[in-house]
Amino acid sequence: MKIKKERLMKFFSEQLLTISTLAGVVLGVIFGLILRASSSSKWSSREIMYFNFLGELFLRMLKGLILPLVISSLIAAIGTLNFKATGRIGGRAITYYLITTFMAVILGIILVLTVRPGIDRHKKNSTESVHTTSSQLRTITTTDAMLDLVRNMFPPNIIQACIEQYQTVLKPPSANASNDNIDEWNIGHTYGNGMNIIGLVVSACVFGIAMSTLHGSVNTVLGIVTEVSALMMKITSWVIFVSPIGIFFLTVSQVAEMDDLNVVAGKLGLYLITVIGGIVFHGFVILPIIYYAFTRKNPYTFIMGMGPAIVTAFGTGSSSATLPMTIQCIEERNKVNPQISRFMLPIGATINMDGTALYEAVAAIFIAQLRGIELSFGKVVAVSITSTAAAIGAAGIPQAGLVTLVMVLDAVGLPPEDVSLILAVDWILDRVRTVVNVLGDCLGAGIVDHMSQKDLIVPPINPQENAANASASGSYEIVTVPATKET
Ligand code: ASP
């Protein structure tokens, strides 16, 4: 009995952070519902802004960590690997990303074609609201979106990449010309929409590779980035400490401001269930099976370890903002080697989005069903390819998937305005897909970590661990971080 109690206490103390962040969400929902019930009219945006203030501060802190943490960690991780090992680990990571993303898309397509949420079962309901309010969506083609992604990988100005990114802009040739043939539209570009994370990630990788090929002759720089990365991890742990409060306020304001949930009845409700069911099945059944198949370790213990990051992904709807927490949790709680986690997670947060991929496929086919468009096999294949591309191209920020959905709609001949058909429930789906986007990155890092043990011949890049390890064994001959080893 006593042993059981002790075990229970141990479990609770280990999971305290997960439990408190989860409590942040649950209490946030309850408090948000109380707020809704306590006012007969809708809360004004100013009032919502006040409710959200502490949540906003939390989000700002997380976002502030991204740049210094990602850059320093990536350079330090790759800089301490040898070139061949980087290639092998990178190859495994990309293979995992592509295969799992495509599996998510296929699952989504099978589900939406089986459940058929957009098909009229009772003809009399056929006038379901179809708003085609003009949204602020850009018209982009799949090719342009992919080319933009590649362009952004090579930022001409690294400072600019910290603030903005390149976007192709298409404009109709003249106001009264026919807008049907997009090939005749004028091509321009603009810079905007936040930090160019993919550009920074690629630049940091190149920097790290250059460092590793110079074999020890740039140890001062490597020592500096390694120490900056350790500092950023320390600051991250402080932010994690306040995460339950931040998550609580983010949830309260979201629940207080959301539209009435009765719009979720009917087809939209079925669509919601299809997407959530698919995403949850992919994230909590398929990916864990893959993890188990490669590592023979319990995937759910691993997922429990990622608890705070998963709840934060749900609370913020942003893989990028969650990144500092993801890195911290995977290293501290799941003991994944920092060389793998700091290499794979920033890349994964920008390109590996299983939840988004599944959602894109289901959403496009659902809209086609609503519009009564029969999709040929060829079109379904086009949806699967463009959904994968759209998920890779989506940024790790709230509702980025909704923007890249335009590409998938384009593939089945639907106008961009049709995204308004699913707008009402997108914020919920965004949070759920962000959870699985983050989870997919983590399980992938766990798998690659397991497979890459032989490639990781240098000690961990955490300076404190280095010092401890070095003094414990006295035997790290190939240490490439002298600044920290000397301590
Ligand atoms: N919010 C998602 C993420 O950050 C992207 C999306 O909109 O699907 O991972």
Does the pLDDT at position 469 exceed 50? no
For 286-342, the pLDDT digits (tens) are 999 999 999 999 999 999 999 999 999 999 999 999 999 999 999 999 999 998 999
**What number does the ligand 1 atom closest to the CA of 318 have?**
4
**What number does the ligand 1 atom closest to the CA of 403 have?**
7
Using a 10 angstrom Cβ sphere, with 0-12 exposed, 13-18 middle and 19 or more buried, the burial of residue 211 is: buried
CB 229 within 8 A of CB 342: yes
Q: Is 437 in the pocket of ligand 1 (CB under 6 A)?
A: yes
Q: Which residues of 3-29 are buried (b: 16+ CB within 10 A; e: fewer)?
A: eeeeeeeeeeeebebbbbbbebbebbe
Hunting for tokens 């496009």 — which residue is that? 364
Mutate to test the pocket of ligand 1, among 318, 359, 427 (most ligand atoms within 8 A of CB): 318
Q: Is 79 in the pocket of ligand 1 (CB under 6 A)?
A: no
Q: Which residues of 38-47 are buried (b: 16+ CB within 10 A; e: fewer)?
A: eeeeebeeee
Q: Is 353 in the pocket of ligand 1 (CB under 6 A)?
A: yes
Q: Is 316 in the pocket of ligand 1 (CB under 6 A)?
A: no
Q: Is 419 in the pocket of ligand 1 (CB under 6 A)?
A: no
Does the pLDDT at position 131 exceed 60? no
CA of 142 to the centre of ligand 1 (A): 18
Distance CA 404, CA 360 (A): 8
Hunting for tokens 């398929």 — which residue is that? 286
What is the 8-class DSSP label of residue 165?
Answer: E
Per-residue pLDDT, averaged over 272-284, amounts to: 96
For 396-409, the pLDDT digits (tens) are 888 888 888 988 88
Biggest distance spanned by C-alpha atoms of the chain: 81
Distance CA 321, CA 197 (A): 11
Q: Is 319 in the pocket of ligand 1 (CB under 6 A)?
A: yes
For 227-240, the pLDDT digits (tens) are 998 899 899 889 88
**Nearest partner of 461 among 43, 76, 177, 95, judged by Cα:** 76
Q: Is 404 in the pocket of ligand 1 (CB under 6 A)?
A: no
Q: Which helix (H) or strand (E) holds 257?
A: helix 243-257
Mutate to test the pocket of ligand 1, among 66, 397, 407, 441 (most ligand atoms within 8 A of CB): 397
Q: Which two tokens stand for residue 365?
A: 């086919």
For 55-86, the pLDDT digits (tens) are 999 989 988 988 998 899 889 888 888 788 88
Distance CA 451, CA 6 (A): 35
For 455-468, the pLDDT digits (tens) are 776 555 555 554 44
Q: Is 352 in the pocket of ligand 1 (CB under 6 A)?
A: no
Q: Is 434 in the pocket of ligand 1 (CB under 6 A)?
A: yes
What is the 8-class DSSP label of residue 154?
Answer: S
175: confidence class by pLDDT, cuts 50, 70, 90: low
**Coil, strand, or helix at residue 422?**
coil
Q: Is 398 in the pocket of ligand 1 (CB under 6 A)?
A: yes
Q: Is 322 in the pocket of ligand 1 (CB under 6 A)?
A: no
CA of 318 to the centre of ligand 1 (A): 6
110: confidence class by pLDDT, cuts 50, 70, 90: very high
- Report for 93-107, 140-154, 405-419: range of highest mean pLDDT: 93-107
Does the pLDDT at position 207 exceed 50? yes
R_g of the chain computed on alpha carbons: 23
**Coil, strand, or helix at residue 54?**
helix
User: Atom 6 of ligand 1 has which residue's CA nearest to it?
Assistant: 401
Walk me through the domains of the chain, giving residue ranges and CATH numbers: 2-473 (1.10.3860.10)
Q: Is 315 in the pocket of ligand 1 (CB under 6 A)?
A: no
Q: Is 317 in the pocket of ligand 1 (CB under 6 A)?
A: yes
CA of 320 to the centre of ligand 1 (A): 9
Q: What are phi and psi of 484, to 5 degrees?
A: -90, -30
CA of 98 to the centre of ligand 1 (A): 17
Q: Which residues pair with 187 in a beta bridge?
A: 170
**Nearest partner of 248 among 457, 6, 25, judged by Cα:** 25
Cβ contacts of 67 within 8 Å, gap of 6 or more: 162, 195, 200
CB 160 within 8 A of CB 191: yes
Q: Which two tokens stand for residue 263?
A: 């719009």
Q: Which two tokens stand for residue 212?
A: 């590793």
CA of 276 to the centre of ligand 1 (A): 14
CA of 13 to the centre of ligand 1 (A): 31
Q: Which stretches of 256-361 are assigned E, i.e. beta strand?
A: none
Q: Specify whether the backbone of 372 is left (phi greater than 0), alpha (psi in -120 to 50) or beta.
A: left
Q: How many other C-beta atoms can be found within 10 angstroms of the C-beta atom of residue 206?
A: 13
pLDDT for res 485: 31
**What number does the ligand 1 atom closest to the CA of 322 have?**
4
Q: Is 313 in the pocket of ligand 1 (CB under 6 A)?
A: no
**What number does the ligand 1 atom closest to the CA of 359 have?**
8
CB 309 within 8 A of CB 326: yes
Q: What percent of the chain stands above pLDDT 70?
A: 86
Q: What is the mean pLDDT of the chain?
A: 84
21: confidence class by pLDDT, cuts 50, 70, 90: confident
For 25-60, the pLDDT digits (tens) are 899 999 999 998 888 788 888 988 998 899 999 989
Q: Which helix (H) or strand (E) holds 193?
A: none
CB 362 within 8 A of CB 271: yes
Q: Which residues pair with 166 in a beta bridge?
A: 191
CA of 400 to the centre of ligand 1 (A): 5
**Nearest partner of 429 among 465, 400, 467, 463, judged by Cα:** 400
Mutate to test the pocket of ligand 1, among 101, 353, 359 (most ligand atoms within 8 A of CB): 353
Q: Which two tokens stand for residue 259?
A: 């539209």
Point out the least confidently predicted range of 142-151, 394-403, 437-446, 462-471.
Answer: 462-471
pLDDT for res 263: 59
User: Atom 2 of ligand 1 has which residue's CA nearest to it?
Assistant: 434
Does the pLDDT at position 394 exceed 50? yes
Q: What is the pTM of this model?
A: 0.82
Distance CA 291, CA 57 (A): 35
